[in-house]
Chains A and B, each alone.
Chain A
Amino acid sequence: MAGLYLNHVKVAEESGGVVSLPNTVQFNNLKIGETEVINSNRQIQNITGLKIGETEVINSNRQIQNITGIDFGSSSGTGTPSSNLLDDYEEGTWTPVSGAGTLIIADTPTYTKTGRHVFLTAVFTMPTQTNTDQARVYGLPFTPKNNGSNSEYGAGLGEHNYGSYITLCIDSGSSIILFRPNGSSSTTYTNVSGKNFRFSISYLTDS
């Protein structure tokens, strides 16, 4: 039996950007060529490219793209931002920079941003210094959200050779990593001179 070819068949109505399928149209076991794209459970499958309007939202590698977010909450249709909206994901690298001298970086410092949550890792040795200023490391990949309190975002230190308890933190609203022995007052370049730190930090960002 020769195949049936349908061209420009209208099966949906569009209103305000919403496409509605009439109840009378059913797709069960729909094939395009030899590929079943709607299975017997009415699930879409085997899609290697899908456009909404002129925008390709599923590419030829079966990756979802060009979407503005995934809303895990109930959709109100008002267009207002939702606290259930996941609207960003990105991976990359960053470069820690000492405010005095040149720190030595081991491995490649990485970041992962999921929504407003930033998770970063780094391993570095602070420069040998006799500078008595507050020790600072710059170069964060995203600006920390200003929640009003300092030291709000602390590090998980995997290992260090400082010699006693110390933590790393980011001041709320700044883009600086500080070193806090005893969990309190910041320390100087001299005190962390030549010390190695292996850590991760999680923080929130506005962007």
Chain B
Amino acid sequence: MALTKQTVTDKIEIVGQFNHIQVREAIQVLEDGQVISQSYHRYVVAPGETSNDAKVQAIIAAVHTPDVIAAYQQHLQEQTEL
């Protein structure tokens, strides 16, 4: 009976006007290769941000184009304060 732990990126979604990339990681405990426990960890990659995950990096390259990054930065600058 061998217990192991692994983290896998099990869901990647592109959402919203600025192609935010939502990433879900499943943190799994396995017994003899079978998942016996699992929890989730999430993060969002906004245009202009990076990720250490190779799969996410490939999606960043595809959807966070210079135009999208510029539009998102413009959006942030337009958020006026009271």
Q: Which residues of A contact B (CB under 8 A)?
A: 90-95, 111, 138-143, 145-146, 150-151, 171-176, 180, 183-186, 205-207
Please report the C-alpha to C-alpha distance between residue A48 and residue B46 in the assembled complex, in whole angstroms: 43
Residues of B within 8 A of A151 (CB): 79, 81-82
Q: Are B81 and A175 in contact (CB under 8 A)?
A: no
Q: Which of B55-82 contact A (CB under 8 A)?
A: 72, 75-76, 79-82
Q: Are B44 and A142 in contact (CB under 8 A)?
A: yes
Asked, given contacts A171-B79, A174-B75, whether A139 binds B44 with beta carbons under 8 Å apart, the answer is: yes
- The tally of residues in B whose CB lies under 8 Å from a CB in A reads 23
Task: Give min CB distance, B80 to chain A, whole Å.
Answer: 7
Q: Are B81 and A94 in contact (CB under 8 A)?
A: no
Residues of A within 8 A of B31 (CB): none
Q: Are A93 and B40 in contact (CB under 8 A)?
A: yes
Q: Are A92 and B75 in contact (CB under 8 A)?
A: no
Tell me the total A-B contact number using a CB cutoff of 8 A.
76
Q: Are B46 and A146 in contact (CB under 8 A)?
A: no
Asked, given contacts A143-B15, A143-B20, A173-B17, whether A92 binds B44 with beta carbons under 8 Å apart, the answer is: no
Q: Which residue, A94, A173, A176, has most C-beta atoms of chain B within 10 A?
A: A173
Task: Give min CB distance, A44 to chain B, whole Å.
Answer: 29
Q: Are B39 and A175 in contact (CB under 8 A)?
A: no
Q: Are B81 and A185 in contact (CB under 8 A)?
A: yes
Residues of B within 8 A of A185 (CB): 81-82
When C-beta atoms are compared, the residue in chain B nearest to A186 turns out to be B81
- One digit per residue, 1 when the CB lies within 8 angstroms of any chain A CB and 0 when it does not, for chain B 11-41 equals 0010111101010100000000000000111
Residues of A within 8 A of B79 (CB): 150-151, 171-172, 174
Please report the C-alpha to C-alpha distance between residue A138 and residue B45 in the assembled complex, in whole angstroms: 9
When C-beta atoms are compared, the residue in chain B nearest to A91 turns out to be B40
Q: Are B13 and A207 in contact (CB under 8 A)?
A: yes
When C-beta atoms are compared, the residue in chain A nearest to B41 turns out to be A93
Q: Are A92 and B17 in contact (CB under 8 A)?
A: no
Task: Give min CB distance, B44 to chain A, whole Å.
Answer: 4
Q: Are B46 and A138 in contact (CB under 8 A)?
A: yes
B42 partner, pick from A111, A145, A183, A206, beta carbons under 8 A: A111
Residues of B within 8 A of A183 (CB): 82
Q: Which residue, B15, B79, B80, has most C-beta atoms of chain A within 10 A?
A: B79
Task: Give min CB distance, A122 to chain B, whole Å.
Answer: 13
Q: Are A142 and B42 in contact (CB under 8 A)?
A: yes
Return 15 A-B CB contacts under 8 Å, by A number: A91-B40, A92-B39, A93-B39, A139-B43, A140-B43, A141-B44, A143-B16, A143-B22, A150-B80, A171-B76, A172-B79, A173-B16, A174-B72, A185-B81, A186-B81
